[in-house]
Structure 1
Amino acid sequence: MYSLIIAVGAQNVFVLRQGMRREHVLPVVLICAVSDALLVLAGTAGLGYLVNSAPWLIVVARWAGGISLVVYGIFAARRAWAKGGESLVADPEADAADAAASGGTALATKTRLAPVILATLAFTWLNPNVYLDTVLLIGGIAATHGDQRWMFAAGAIIGSITWFFALGYGARYLGRWLRTPRAWRILDTAIAVLLVTMGIALVVPVFAG
């Protein structure tokens, strides 16, 4: 579940960049966290209703969720070992921000709030992967927990809030390491292992039952 939230994507990279620039970090992480919470609740409620109406959908949800997790893991592994890898090159202001963190002058905000909010909303609500990951996949996995699905949803929401705040406000410390392809390769490899493991664990009960 948490590896889906932290999987490298356009939204997370945008939050990371804003954190490295120290620009409007609080509005950005709040928008991302609240949006994720709404999408998780929508997925849990909608798919939970369907499962209650047709219990056999639990098996379908397990297989769909398990296969999706493994596929995402494969994609993460491909990114990890692709030639050249990924890299995050911060704007020049990021280097000044690192200096500020060491006792220099804080970086002045360069971008107005409105464009940043619009960009955050676009990265969140206009990204098809957000609906696949949060509504369908997490909602489908929550549906397999029966009466405990809302506890699962609460855990997913807490994990999402924790991640976005940690990413946004921890970016100033992580930026110097995440600018290299090797760092992204290690991160994607860890995500791939977690996703594949979760996917296999999700369908094991199907065989056991």
Structure 2
Amino acid sequence: MTNILPTFLTGFAMSAALIMAIGAQNLFVLRQGLKREHVGPIVLFCGCADAILIAAGVGGVGALLGAMPQLTLTLTISGSAFLAWYGFKAFQRMMAPESMTVSAQGTLTVGRALGATAAFTFLNPHVYLDTVLLMGAAGSAHAPALRPIFVAGAATASITWFAALGYGARILTPLFARPSAWKVLDAIVCVVMLTLAASLIGRIVL
């Protein structure tokens, strides 16, 4: 029983350290938070997806994925194509004469928003590296009885982060009341998405 809290905190800290890096998923959640569009379902989806992937890694799926290079290749190609497409859409928004504002009506249905969230989550090979392989290996190092505690800590960190990102984005509402701020955000999204897409293709080539 004395190991429960340290195990929970280990899972929490490791998950938090991995998830806070700026990436495609985080930028998408931030943008939806700024638009105040389907934030709750998106946050819940991201948190649950991380919990499932981490639990799968702790359960031994990481070793299975490591033995299936063709699946990794498929995910890499699909993820690169999706990121490049989303980066191009951000570039189009940035170059459009009209600009978005915080008060603008949402443009995505909840189904499309969750579909995009799923793509950012499951088409990114880095997600599997972080959650299934790294977190899975760390969780597997604990005694079997403590592994669910590790997963619970990691899942708590994930949900906490996405909730803070999605709902905390409204703090930036005064800044994004200016249309030019949306263009800057879309420029950042474009650069990050295209860079990630190029890095994935580079891994295939090399």
Contact conserved, 1:62 with 1:203, CA < 8 A, in 2? yes
Q: Identity across aligned pairs (percent)?
A: 18
Number of residue pairs the alignment of both structures matches: 163
1:67 equivalent in alignment to 2:66? no
For residue 184 of structure 2, what is the aligned residue in structure 1? 186
Structure 2 residue corresponding to 1:147, chosen from 133, 136, 143: 133
Separation (CA, whole Å) in 2 of partners of 1:9 and 1:124: 18
For residue 115 of structure 2, what is the aligned residue in structure 1? 128
Task: Name the stretch that deviates more: 155-164 or 58-67.
Answer: 155-164
| Structure 1 unaligned spans of 5+ | 18-27, 91-121
How far does residue 129 in structure 1 lie from its aligned partner after superposition? 1.7
TM-score between both structures, scaled by the size of structure 1: 0.58
Structure 2 residue corresponding to 1:2, chosen from 5, 23, 32: 23
3-state secondary structure, aligned to 1:175: helix
RMSD: 4.1
Partner letter of residue 171 of structure 1? R
Separation (CA, whole Å) in 1 of partners of 2:159 and 2:66: 26
Separation (CA, whole Å) in 2 of partners of 1:143 and 1:167: 22
TM-score between both structures, scaled by the size of structure 2: 0.59
| Structure 2 unaligned spans of 5+ | 1-21, 138-150
How far does residue 194 in structure 1 lie from its aligned partner after superposition? 0.6
How far does residue 126 in structure 1 lie from its aligned partner after superposition? 7.0
Partner letter of residue 195 of structure 1? M
Structure 1 residues 137 and 149: alpha-carbon distance in aligned structure 2, compared to 1, 3 A threshold: farther
For residue 38 of structure 1, what is the aligned residue in structure 2? 48
Contact conserved, 1:77 with 1:188, CA < 8 A, in 2? yes
